[in-house]
Amino acid sequence: MDPNILDPKEKEAIYNELADTMIVGLEKGELFDTDASEVSGFILSGFQEVKEKKDLLAFLEVLAKRWDIYKPIYTKYKSEELLGKVQGELDQLTN
Amino acid sequence: MPNIATPEAQVTITPLETLSYGGESKNAPDWLIRGKAVEAQQRGRELRAQREAGKTGKQVLEEQRERGSAKPFESKKIKALELRFGGGAAKEDGREVVIDTDKNPSFEQIDSFTDAKDAAEKIGKVLLYAEVAAEHTKTGKSPADILSDRGVLDRWEDVRTAGLDVLLQNDNLRQAIPELQDLGPESLQREFLEGALAKDPKFQAKIAEKMRDISQRASTLSEVPKDQQTEEAKVLQAQAETQMQSGWGKMRQALEAEGYDVSKLEASQAEIDRLIKEGVSYPQIANLIREAVLRGSDFSKRAEIEAYIALQKQRQQVLTSLQQAGKNPPLTDRYSKDLDGIEAKIADIDGKYTPEEYEHYVKVTTMFGGEDVSGKFGQYKGLLEQDIKQTVAAGGKYASAEQTIRARNQEAAKLEQKGLSERLRQESELIDELKDVLPDAIAEILLERHDEMVQLQMESREKKNESGVELGLKIIEDAMNKNWIEYNDKTREKTIHRDAIGQDVRFAAYHGDEGIKRLMLRDMGNRDWRDVDLTTLPEVQTKMLEQAYTTHGQAYKDRLLTDFFTAKDFRDGGFKVGFKNWKIEGSYGALGLKEHEWKLLEQNFGKDLDKRLEASQEGAKMLQEMKDRKVVPNFKSKWLMYLLLLLGGVGTVVAGPMAGVLAVGAAGAAGKSSTF
């Protein structure tokens, strides 16, 4: 399995994360009901096109730009990617 | 944020801000944003519960997306809604929805359908009017053009009158606001209702929202179950009926092709069909059909022709006997004598009918399987036999299916009745809700306007308090928001304290302005407020009371009476207050005033009210129109006008010293708000 491709389980986990973030946003009053509907539509139509991990970051970046509540998720995945790269380089150096 | 001024200044909310109340603008007043946040929190909790119950994140997102894209209910969907009532026995008939009598609906089904249709059509009339009025307000397009675009043929004036009349004739509205009828002729009542309420786009949105909910639930009404065997038998019966009709069709065609008149046959068809379905055998049916054909065509010489044929047969028999008799004179003599007699009779009949008439008769009897005595119509022999047999056989199948249906009758009826009862119960719930749509929408609009007023007051108060206000003023401000219709701005919960309102209004009616002062004294904690000599109060309390009365006396009085008239609309038989965030406390009779108490109230507060109405642009216009039509408004109807205008009627605005600070500019009032 290509490690760059998001498998269905990973996609489901990300869907859950995005939905839970929206719920928290509603609970904190950071999102209104109507905003949440717009967010949902945006995620459902955008995320179904995401096949690879690099596409995921691009998608999260746009999402975070439109709705602040998604900034932490974008930052988290961006950091993971950077860490992955650094780790890869370290591995190369040590091998 | 709205402009909030100090107590000394008048404040106006711009039309833009007013528009933003119901929209998505983040420039809406704080209280509205808070309200939306409360709703968002509620929605968040609902979605969290769904996640915890096992729904995936994707499913939750899908549901939320669906919620946002749900289309609003429109008047054109009324017909589809009507079709869902009547226990499944409603059908479309051209532009109308009617009950399908072929389905043998019960009285309960007919009642349910009629009730739902009546309620839905009334709402449809109001909704169509409100939709066009709202679109006209939004786009400036003429109502006639809007109606034409929608394919509605009615004139705007008729649509408007019909919509407003439904509201005016609504029992709940009439009971809740009886003063409306005191406003004079119906045309004036319509005008008033339109200006103060019906044109408000929020009113249309409210109805649409309620109807969307009802319509969604109507689409999921339980279906009435059917007995499987009965249904199959009904299908067989329908097929048999088709086969019978096809048999009849072929018979008629064949007869007509030969020039026979089938009118009598058609007239007898229903009766013969009945006999076929009862199992009468083929020969009898064939005979009945032949007789019907013979009755129809011109067979006036039938008796002579039949006698001739019979004589011919006798002649033939005698000739045969004569031949067989050989040379036996006694016998031959007798047969010869018989033959002479028969020949004489034949000669007598001969010439009484034409050869064509004879052949016409022989042909038709041959078609039914009779003997071709002419020897010319062999090809017609038994021509109709097959069709009649097909018809009779189909009748047999029909009878057999009928037997099954009868045998299953009780069982099927029991099953269907059970399902139908459940369905009609569900329909009845929805019909009750349909009947509440209009009064609830009106009530909610009025209450929301009341909310807006109170919220704005509270925001204004918060500002004042920032600059430091004396204790007495704060106590009175708090009391105004708690004594009668209590509003909690955090939970957005409202409580109508009926008993307190009734008692205080009665006290004010008896004691006038001094009564108001004493109520304020009570709020400041004086236990002897009813009877104490006001000149003997401690100096500090006198100062506090005087300052509070000077600053807030008018507002206090207005608020008491406004809350009284608002609460009065929520009584027995009036609006049903079933919506969230509203609670009623106290007895229903608490708000009833005796006739002399009304007079006292008018005596003490009537002049104030007149001044206010006259100072309001819309109020003055209304009073003038009433005067022109020689209508003398009474105290209660003036209050109704004041209240509706105060609570945000279209056109202007009003408010005034009641809060000492408030003036609400409504959407249509661009730049012409007035205060008094």
More confident residue, B463 or B112: B112
Rounded to a whole number of angstroms, the CA Rg of chain B reads 43
| CB of B48 less than 8 A from some CB of A | yes
Split at pLDDT 50, 70, 90, the class of A64 is very high
Smallest Cα distance from A24 to chain B, Å: 7
Chain A CB contacts of B41 under 8 Å are 26-29
Distance CA B355, CA B525 (A): 124
Report the length, in residues, of chain A: 95
List of residues 6+ apart from B476 with CB closer than 8 A: B520, B523, B524, B548, B552, B556
Contacts of B28 in chain A (CB under 8 A): none
A95 touches B: beta carbon within 8 Å: no
Residue from B98, B103, B125 nearest B114 by CA: B98
Which chain B residues are within 8 Å of A29, Cβ to Cβ?
Answer: 37-38, 40-41
How do residues A24-56 score in pLDDT, each as one tens digit? Answer: 999 988 888 888 988 999 999 999 889 888 889
How far apart (Å, rounded) are the C-alpha atoms in residues B202 and B134? 9
The C-alpha atoms of residue B168 and residue B188 are separated, in whole angstroms, by 11
Q: How high is the pLDDT of residue B428? A: 93
Mutate to test the interface with A, among B24, B26, B60 (most CBs of A within 10 A): B60
- Give the pLDDT confidence of B295-332 residue by residue, as tens digits: 776 677 888 888 999 998 999 999 898 888 777 777 78
Q: Tell me, yes or no, if the pTM score tops 0.90.
A: no
Q: What percent of chain B has pLDDT over 70?
A: 80
pLDDT in the model for residue B581: 52
Residues B620-641 have pLDDT tens digits of 777 777 777 777 777 777 776 6
Residue B262 to residue B253: CA distance in whole angstroms: 9
Which residue in the set A16, A29, A41 is minimally distant from B68, CB to CB?
A41
Q: Which residue has the higher pLDDT, B585 or B24?
A: B585
Given CB atoms, is B67 within the 8 Å cutoff of chain A?
A: yes
Contacts of residue B605, Cβ cutoff 8 Å, sequence gap at least 6: B508, B512, B557, B561
Distance CA B651, CA B281 (A): 83
Provide, as residue numbers in chain B, all residues whose Cβ is less than 8 Å from the Cβ of A24.
Answer: 44
Q: What is the mean pLDDT of residues B111-134?
A: 91
Cα separation, B177 vs B161, whole angstroms: 20
pLDDT higher at B494 or A22:
A22
CA distance B265 to B281: 18
Per-residue pLDDT of B397-453, as tens digits, reads 999 999 999 998 888 888 888 899 999 999 999 999 898 888 888 777 777 776 666
Residue scoring higher pLDDT (B378 or B177): B378
Comparison of pLDDT for B606 and B310, the residue scoring more: B310
What mean pLDDT do residues B647-671 have? 30
**Token code pair at residue B340:** 């002479």
Q: What pLDDT score was predicted for residue B576?
A: 46
- How far is C-alpha A78 from the chain's CA centre? 9
Q: Cβ–Cβ of B47/A38 closer than 8 Å?
A: no
Indicate if the pLDDT at residue A21 is higher than 90: yes
The answer to which of A43-57, B154-168, B190-204, B269-283 has the lowest mean pLDDT is: B190-204
Matching residue, tokens 């008729």: B158
Q: Hey, is the C-beta of A56 within 8 angstroms of any chain B C-beta? A: no
Q: Does B43 touch chain A (CB under 8 A)?
A: yes
CB within 8 Å of B133: residues ≥ 6 apart: B143, B160, B194, B198, B199, B204
Q: How far apart are CA B312 and CA B473, in angstroms?
A: 128
State residue A42's pLDDT score.
Answer: 92
Three-state SS letters, B383-396: CCHHHHHHHHHHHH
Q: What is the pLDDT of residues B370-385, one digit of tens each?
A: 888 888 888 888 888 8
Partners of residue B40 in chain A, C-beta under 8 Å: 26-27, 29, 31-33, 36
Residue B577: the pLDDT is: 45
**What mean pLDDT is reported for chain B?**
78
Least confident of A83-92, B117-126, B344-353, B457-466: B457-466
- B residues 172..201 contacting A (CB < 8 A): none
3-class SS of residue B496: strand
B38: closest chain A residue by CA:
A29
pLDDT band at B672 (very low <50, low <70, confident <90, very high): very low
More confident residue, B188 or B358: B358
Q: Which residue of A has its CA nearest to B68?
A: A37
**B chain contacts of residue A16, beta-carbon cutoff 8 Å:** 51, 56-58
> Averaged over B657-675, what is the pLDDT?
25
Lowest mean pLDDT among A10-24, B17-31, B152-166, B558-572: B17-31
Arithmetic mean of pLDDT, B484-506: 82
- Is the pLDDT higher at B469 or at B107? B107
Residue B174: per-residue pLDDT: 75
Predicted pLDDT of residue B55: 92
Q: Are B211 and B182 in contact (CB under 8 A)?
A: no
Q: Does B432 touch chain A (CB under 8 A)?
A: no
Is A32's CB within 8 Å of B67's CB? no
CB-nearest partner of A16 from B39, B47, B57: B57
Q: Is B39 on the interface with A (CB under 8 A)?
A: yes
How far is residue A33's CA from residue B24's CA, in Å, rounded to a whole number? Answer: 11
| Whole-number pLDDT of residue B585 | 63
Band the pLDDT of B24: cuts 50, 70, 90.
very low
CA angle A49, A51, A52 (to 5 degrees): 135
Judged against a pLDDT cut of 50, whether residue B75 lies above it is answered with yes
**pLDDT at B374 (0 to 100):** 81
pLDDT at B23: 32
> Is the pLDDT assigned to residue B545 strictly greater than 50?
yes
Interface membership of B205 toward A (CB under 8 Å)? no
Query: Which of A25, A28, A34 is facing B68, going by the closest CB pair?
Result: A34
d(CA B89, CA B104): 8
* pLDDT (0 to 100) of residue B193: 78
Contacts of A20 in chain B (CB under 8 A): 51, 57
Asked if pLDDT for residue B572 goes beyond 60, the answer is no
Per the document, the length of chain B is: 676
Predicted local confidence at residue B583, as pLDDT? 63
3-state secondary structure of B585: strand
Answer whether residue B136 shows pLDDT above 60.
yes
Nearest chain A alpha carbon to B54: A16
pLDDT for B665: 25
| Between B192 and A68, the higher pLDDT residue | A68
Q: Strands, DSSP E only, in B505-577?
A: none
Chain A environment of B36 (Cβ under 8 Å): 32-33
How much is the pLDDT for B587? 62
The closest CB to that of B61, out of A29, A32, A40, belongs to: A40
pLDDT at B471 over 90: no
| Mean predicted confidence (pLDDT) in B455-468 | 56
Residue B480 burial (10 A CB sphere; 0-12, 13-18, 19+)? buried
Residue B57 to residue A40, Cβ atoms within 8 A: no
| Average pLDDT of the segment spanning B519-534 | 87
